[in-house]
Amino acid sequence: MMMSAMVKKLICDRCGYELAEPGDVDLALQGQAAWQRSVRERGEEPRGVYPCKNYVRCQGEMTVIEERRGLFGRRNKRAKAS
């Protein structure tokens, strides 16, 4: 039986920067409400949960991506029919 876990990553919707460390992802998600509130106060609608590290250049926002990982951190792939 293959064990699998969902791994959360944040990916910038503009430049593709990835944030995958669990501690970093959790910290960004904790600041989500403050970021979205500040965007709405500027009269815009937030696209993501937090600004990108490169926000000054790319104007991107980090979006949550959940990946299913199998045993030993490998991505689950479907077996090919032979």
C-alpha count within 13 angstroms, C-beta hemisphere, residue 54: 12
Residue extents of the structural domains in the chain: 5-72
pLDDT tens digits, 15-45: 999 999 999 999 999 999 999 999 999 999 9
pTM above 0.75, yes or no: no
For residue 1, which amino acid is it? M
Q: At what angle do helices 22-30 and 32-41 cross, to 10 degrees?
A: 40
Residue with tokens 């992802």: 25
Q: How far apart are the first and last CA of the chain?
A: 22
- The whole-angstrom separation of Cα 78 and Cα 12 is 27
